Amino acid sequence: MLDASYRAARGRISTLMAGLTEDQLSLAVPATPGWSVHDVLAHLTGGAADVLAQRLDGAPGESWTARHVAERRDRPVGALLDEWERASPAVEASLPERFAGPNLAADAICHEGDLREALGLPRIDREHWQPFLDVLGYLPGRRVRDSSTLVISDELGQEWRCGSGESVTVLRAAGYELMRGLFSRRSRSQIAGWDWSPEPTAQLVDSFGVFGHRDDDQPVPVC
């Protein structure tokens, strides 16, 4: 399943990137401070190339991703897309069947959202990110105290329940926003502003985000 998810994400991103102007390619991406739209593509390409070359020392740390960008900063989009296409079969072969932790399929879905939000485009369709939300939805509950219970639900009625304590906190939020928050793509203030009952503790807000919390508000797509 994840191989198909990665392949489809690469196809959508490649089509998007091939049609951008130089001004759009140079736009800053709020979710990835210091990176432009072009830099995000350079990272996606570099990650795949490193899997193909088995050059994985430092993955997935900041120095590893920074190298992808530095090595490809001056390469044209067409060259990056060609390199990504050549390397992608190795990535697809390396992916597990189902999402259980960080991998390049999740990375592609996450950065696809980053790119679309930076460019002011509508969010990607739910079918592409739902499998990741299915798993990540349990993350905050697993980080709270055993004496508490956290119940999260989205607009479709899907529910994630963790804990068995008498103290119950209920969160209702759109699935897309949950997914972006769980990928550390929403700020503390944005997460705290969701529909909580009662108001969340700072610890509960900070339990969101596989890459830690952030304090810079992120652009939210209209649809």
pLDDT tens across 127-145, in order?
Answer: 999 999 999 999 998 887 6
pLDDT at 49 over 90: yes
Q: Give the pLDDT confidence score for residue 100 in this predicted structure.
A: 59
Query: Which residues belong to CATH 3.30.1050.20 in the chain?
Result: 126-206
Mean pLDDT of the chain: 93
What percent of the chain lies above the pLDDT cut of 90? 79
pLDDT at 146 over 70: no
Confidence of residue 101 (pLDDT cuts 50, 70, 90): low
Q: Which two tokens stand for residue 171?
A: 């969160």
211, 184 Cβ separation under 8 angstroms: yes
Backbone torsions φ then ψ of 91, nearest 5 degrees: -65, -50
pLDDT at 193 over 80: yes
CATH of domain 2-118: 1.20.120.450
DSSP states of 144-186 as a string? S-TTEEEEEE-TT--EEEE---SEEEEEE--HHHHHHHHTT-S
Query: Which residues belong to CATH 1.20.120.450 in the chain?
Result: 2-118
Q: Are β-strands 167-172 and 148-153 bridged in parallel, bridged antiparallel, or unpaired?
A: parallel
pLDDT at 32 over 70: yes
Mean per-residue pLDDT, 93-122: 91
Mean per-residue pLDDT, 162-178: 91
Q: How far apart are CA 91 and CA 10, in angstroms?
A: 11
For the stretch 68-97, pLDDT in tens is 999 999 999 999 999 999 999 999 999 987
Class of the CATH domain delimited by 126-206: alpha beta
What percent of the chain lies above the pLDDT cut of 70? 97
